[in-house]
């Protein structure tokens, strides 16, 4: 039996977790709906960034039924700024499919829109104590280091093998606590660049640490090169209104969201003036947005004049929101 699979392994990990867990709002509930919402929001997003959106979303849509009957624009407006907006649309699609109650078995959860293997395992184990191991980036890092495995974690074959290891490690008596403990360990101790090995409850079991290899693992060979992109957004304000355009329902990116125009959408722009810039990253695309203000005598299609006071209830893109705040058209509390 490996050191990671010895009888005290799970108890040691869960004991550490219960003594050191971060106080996150979704850990204070057993409500499957609230756990489901948190897991969708946590996809590709840090926990601290999720907290205000999670609390605001559940205040606005406190039940599955409330989410199901809401207008899509209201859901997107509440999600605005969190990114990856297909998550919000899929969450509402799923709410409309399940009725009053979330399904209670793994396969049915897995079939919901926007739910993959990891999310289904997280919901099933945390909400219903079903014995399904989670595998996310944090868990993969812990497994690679504890087992001293230098296989390419970008490979589907490696992921499948690591999934089997995670399932073997799982404490089937307390799967929810075990999964959360393993994820918490990766998020707070077994960090990518500077692991806190002296604080790790598994340090005596970690094969990579015993050989001084922890900082070199895990290995991911398949990584796309970052792309740097310069872009510009234009703010045209008049009489408490601002020019915006809305993406169509069949748009490939962020359908239904409202955007500030680019310069080419305003051929008659007058007196342009730069007010600054901000950076924005989407996966491996690194944007540098320059923000300009100016005047326009008319609003060419598809631009429309929108009252600034109405922006709070609209699905406004993150980049437009950042630009409007940079130009002080909106305050920090003004939208989102």
Distance CA 243, CA 93 (A): 31
Per the CB < 8 A criterion, the answer to whether 180 and 124 are in contact is: no
Q: Where does residue 155 rank: exposed (0-12), middle (13-18), buried (19+ CB within 10 A)?
A: middle
SS3 185: helix
Buried/exposed code over 295-319 (b: 16+ C-beta within 10 A; e: otherwise): ebeebeeebeebebeebeebbbbbb
∠ CA 13-14-15, nearest 5°, is: 90
Distance CA 103, CA 113 (A): 13
Q: Which residue has the tokens 């008049």?
A: 238
Instruction: Report the chain's terminal Cα–Cα distance, integer Å.
Output: 52
Distance CA 27, CA 183 (A): 13
If residue 153 lies in a helix (H) or strand (E), which one and from where to where? none
**In the structure encoding, which two tokens stand for residue 34, read together?**
């609230």
Distance CA 324, CA 192 (A): 35
Distance CA 6, CA 325 (A): 54
Is 227 noted as a catalytic residue in this protein?
A: no
**In the structure encoding, which two tokens stand for residue 155, read together?**
């490979």
Distance of CA 120 to the CA centre of its chain: 15
- Please, which residues have CB within 8 angstroms of residue 185's CB and are 6 or more apart in sequence? 13, 16, 17, 138, 142, 200, 201, 202
Catalytically active residues are 39
């Amino acid at each position: 039996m490996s050191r990671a699979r010895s009888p005290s392994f799970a108890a040691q990990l869960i004991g550490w977790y219960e003594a050191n867990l971060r106080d996150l709002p979704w850990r204070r509930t057993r409500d499957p709906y609230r756990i489901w919402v948190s897991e969708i929001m946590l996809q590709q997003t840090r926990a601290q960034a999720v907290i205000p959106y999670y609390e605001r979303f559940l205040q606005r849509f406190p039940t599955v039924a409330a989410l199901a009957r809401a207008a899509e624009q209201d859901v997107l407006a509440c999600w605005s700024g969190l990114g990856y907006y297909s998550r919000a649309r899929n969450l509402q699609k799923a709410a409309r499919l399940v009725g009053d109650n979330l399904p209670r078995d793994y396969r049915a959860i897995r079939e919901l829109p926007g739910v993959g293997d990891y999310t289904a395992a997280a919901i099933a184990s945390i909400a219903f104590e079903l014995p399904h191991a989670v595998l996310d980036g944090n868990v993969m890092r812990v497994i690679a280091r504890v087992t001293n495995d230098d296989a390419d974690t970008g490979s589907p074959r490696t992921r499948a093998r690591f999934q089997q290891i995670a399932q073997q490690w799982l404490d089937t008596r307390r799967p929810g606590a075990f999964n959360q403990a393993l994820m918490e360990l990766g998020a707070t101790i077994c960090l990518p660049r500077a692991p806190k090995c002296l604080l790790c409850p598994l340090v005596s079991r970690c094969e990579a640490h015993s050989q001084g290899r922890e900082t070199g693992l895990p290995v991911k060979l398949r990584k796309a090169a970052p792309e740097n992109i310069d872009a510009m957004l234009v703010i045209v304000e008049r009489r408490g209104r601002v020019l915006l355009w809305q993406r169509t329902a069949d748009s490939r990116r962020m359908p239904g969201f409202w955007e500030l125009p680019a310069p080419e959408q305003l051929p008659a722009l007058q007196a342009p003036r730069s007010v600054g810039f901000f950076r924005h990253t989407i996966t491996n695309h690194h944007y540098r947005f320059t923000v300009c203000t100016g005047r326009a005598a008319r609003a060419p299609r598809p631009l429309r004049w929108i009252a600034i006071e109405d922006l709070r209830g609209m699905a406004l893109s993150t980049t437009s929101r950042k630009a409007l705040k940079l130009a002080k058209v909106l305050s920090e509390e003004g939208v989102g």
